[in-house]
Structure 1
């Protein structure tokens, strides 16, 4: 039987502009089985999962469960939970970690501040290997288990200390899917060799655009626009590009992408539909998922809007924007 990932690959569905959106990720270790809605259907106390969902709503924070690759004993009460909080806004990325005995402690966090990039002193700076988070939740979609779990296991066997399984990254049909922190770029249809190259690039402060779905800090039109600038210019340095504005509304936007050196680009992005119909998830009815098509990339003239009224270059970390869109995360 054909899977949603096979159909998406065979139809060459574009990856750019399909990443889950989150300026900040809150990742909570929870071994054992996960249900389709893992925050309330795992061995994490359901009332805690529901409370975390409510606390994160509308703040720019996305909560997910993680576990180490491999076989998962059905243990109900792990003595300790590794927790990571990661902010992905270019120019202000950080990852902090802490081990907690009771995840209820996380409800004391200021989620609005986390979404804005203020960790409030939580944990300590994480200085370890880049985090490679592979979606493996077969209860949401079997492709995530069939394709994601072998990838996560292979990364762990190869000695990638930052390899984890994660409950959900959206876009089952792009399995195996991967989120890499600290920079927050998501990837699809990734093999182990490609992931190793991606992680080597992250260690060197670079971003690989091939196979990239986008940076989770941006809404989906912004994700596609930033990747288009990287592809057209060859810019691979992490943390130097930011989406600073988007004019228009679905199905067409004019997105402004700024470089830390002052250059700017205007990118025309159109929302289209993927045809012919294909399953967006295994077992789902055929559909025509939205896609982000980049129609044009134009560099602004030298000196145009490169400095504000005080003569300062744009602050990449202070460039949040919101785009009204009909797209939803799976």
Structure 2
């Protein structure tokens, strides 16, 4: 049997691979999901397409979610929705029960990336949640590797959800921590629990740092995300607000609020051909390699 795509990528870095999103919206939709779940599920495809277009036009992403376990079709009149924004400044998360998914079309989409939390009828502050992709119709790795992780976390009483495609199934199980927007690779039950514990105090988990698990925070440019991830792995810095990243192309500077700074070179490296999804043709693999350069690197220790 051909190895799953994610197994072939297990030794390669996940830095800088988070899909770009300045905010996240997650809508409960039970039942089966197709490959393009927003228009291939029990959700009205016209509403799904409109929600996807609205989120994308404003720079965000929308996912469908369901609780781990058996996936009966959506029968309850109310379903949960989450909105996470303010990722680049002060992340916030709001939860609402909706009776009609079309209600979400009225969201102030252009304001969701801002630091001011959503203030709309029915929306309440929420504790952190972890979403893990299990969209088998998009890639079998996500279901095979993601569902056992969620089953264990759910049994432990953690606030976790199955979700649709987050991008990067080659790093399955992939997860998104809300409200921070940190995207994770190769999620384990222990990693998920640590991420939720840290998020409860508004921080990132040290356990998520390093090339194996940290795909970056979704509001950042991929190379900026790789640079920030490198500094967090070197320093163990868990504060969301502590680091600021500036730069372009291969050259980036990460500055800490305490005055330290790191000059970094972030290069895109092409490697051996690998499939990015199960059943797809192999393509040259690409990862980001990060290295300290210049005088600022002397401030690491």
TM-score under structure 1 length normalisation: 0.82
Q: 1:137 aligns with which of 135, 138, 146?
A: 135
**Matched residues in 1 for 2:295 and 2:199: separation?**
26
Query: CA–CA distance in 1 between the matches of 2:180 and 2:295?
Result: 24
**CA distance in 2 between partners of 1:35 and 1:51 (Å):** 17
2:193 counterpart residue number: 196
Is the contact made by 2:86 and 2:92 (CA closer than 8 Å) also made in structure 1?
A: yes
Answer yes or no: is the 8 Å Cα contact 1:29–1:82 preserved in 2: yes
Where 1:57 maps in the other structure, the secondary structure is helix
Which range moved further: 143-152 or 205-214?
205-214
Q: Do structure 1's residue 115 and structure 2's residue 116 form an aligned pair?
A: no
List runs of 5+ in structure 1 lacking aligned partners: 303-330
Cross-structure match for 2:78: 80
SS at match of 2:272: coil
Distance in 1 (CA, whole Å) between partners of 2:24 and 2:295 is 32
Match of 1:170 in 2: 167
SS at match of 1:121: coil
Matches for 1:256-275 after TM superposition, within 5 Å: 256-273=253-270, 275=271
TM-superposed CA distance for 1:263, in Å, is 3.8
| 8 Å Cα contact 1:228/1:297 also seen in 2 | no
The separation in 1 between residues aligned to 2:86 and 2:244, in whole angstroms, is 11
Match of 1:220 among 212, 219, 222: 222
- CA displacement 1:226-263 (0-9 Å, x = unmatched): 011112223222332232x3223xxxx22232333344
Residues 232-243 of structure 1: matches in 2 within 5 Å?
232-243=234-245
Which residue is 1:96 aligned to? 94
Residue-pair matches, total: 291
Pairwise CA distance, 1:136: 0.4
CA separation of 1:297 and 1:186: change in aligned 2, threshold 3 A: farther
- Residue 44 of structure 1 aligns to a residue whose secondary structure is coil
Show structure 2 runs of 5+ residues with no match. none
Match of 2:281 among 269, 280, 285: 285
Q: Say if 1:56 and 1:62, in contact at 8 Å, map to a contact too.
A: yes
Distance 1:240 1:207, change over 3 A: farther
Instruction: Give a deviation string over 1:151-172, Cα, whole Å, max 9, x none.
Output: 1111101110x10011011111
Q: TM-score, normalised by structure 2?
A: 0.90
Deviation digits for residues 280-327 of structure 1 (CA, Å, limit 9, x no counterpart): 10000011233211132567499xxxxxxxxxxxxxxxxxxxxxxxxx
2:290 counterpart residue number: 294
CA contact (8 A) 1:174 1:188 kept: yes
Name whichever of 19-28 and 192-201 sits farther off: 192-201
